[in-house]
Amino acid sequence: VWALAFTLLMVDTNLADPKSFGESDYIMTFYVAGYLMASGQAESLYPSPNDSSFTHSRFDEAAHRLVPALPEQSTAIFAYTPLVAWIFAPLSKVSPNISLLFWQIISMLGLLLSAAFLSRASNARASDILFLSSLFLPVITTLWSGQVSLVFGLLPLSAGYFFFKKDRPFLAGLIWSLLCLKPQFVFVPALVIFALILAPYTDRNPSNKPEDRKFAISLMTIFLMFWAVLVIIGSFFRGP
């Protein structure tokens, strides 16, 4: 029900008020990068050696040409590998807002798959994981603005963790290597592996009841709160 309601809301917003998404991460960054890659202008993804700033760089000028709703004072920057631009090339064949809608749907599918992987790697139900995710503001923000964190970050993390728990470390490492598409997430697998190494020495209680695992729950709560604070700061207070 939540997924259907959110999908209908995204469809209505994208079609009723296309200009409202002009400054979204997806349209001003990934849509433009995909278009440049698809049209054979890959050299325009990054500033030329003579550019002194990102403002009025080749990518910034291309973004203002392709997205008329982009305010003049906004500066478009592409800080990812050319492979990411190549991935978005097929989505640049349609208008910016329709492309954003397609990516929002893909991101929702990525969230569903992440919940399924985490459910199979733990005792939690996928529906519970998905519901709790919908209550987490950064997840909604990521879906709404078309950021890539769910598909390039959360999905590889969840799939890699599932295969790591199933004693298939090579496949887990192969999937975690996809995090190079979103380098900000690379430290998380290292943290997970380190925590799993320490787990037998820090928490010897075999019980699955929450009241018997106070240390583990407290440690995980601290980690989640620390992660949530960093996500909120990075999303809303990072400056221009």
Task: State the burial class of residue 156 (Cβ atoms within 10 Å of its Cβ: 0-12, 13-18, 19+).
Answer: buried
- Tens place of pLDDT per residue across the chain (240 aa): 566 666 666 665 666 665 666 677 888 889 999 999 999 888 888 888 888 888 888 888 998 888 887 888 888 888 888 888 999 999 999 988 888 889 988 998 999 999 999 888 887 888 888 888 877 778 878 887 788 888 988 898 889 888 888 878 778 877 877 777 776 666 665 666 676 667 666 666 666 666 666 666 666 665 666 666 666 656 555 444
Instruction: Report residue 100: phi and psi, to 5°.
Output: -60, -40
Q: State residue 186's pLDDT score.
A: 62
CA dist 52 to 41, 76, 125, 190, Å? 21, 15, 52, 36
- Long-range CB contacts (within 8 A, 24+) of 173-177: none
Burial-class residue 77 by CB neighbours within 10 Å (0-12, 13-18, 19+).
middle
How far is C-alpha 126 from the geometric centre of its chain's CA atoms? 19
Nearest CA-CA partner of 138 in 127, 150, 126: 150
**Coil, strand or helix: which one is 16?**
helix
Q: Are 118 and 162 in contact (CB under 8 A)?
A: yes
Report the alpha-carbon distance of residue 95 to residue 27 in Å, rounded: 10
Give residue 35's pLDDT. 93
Question: Can you give the pLDDT at residue 239?
Answer: 44
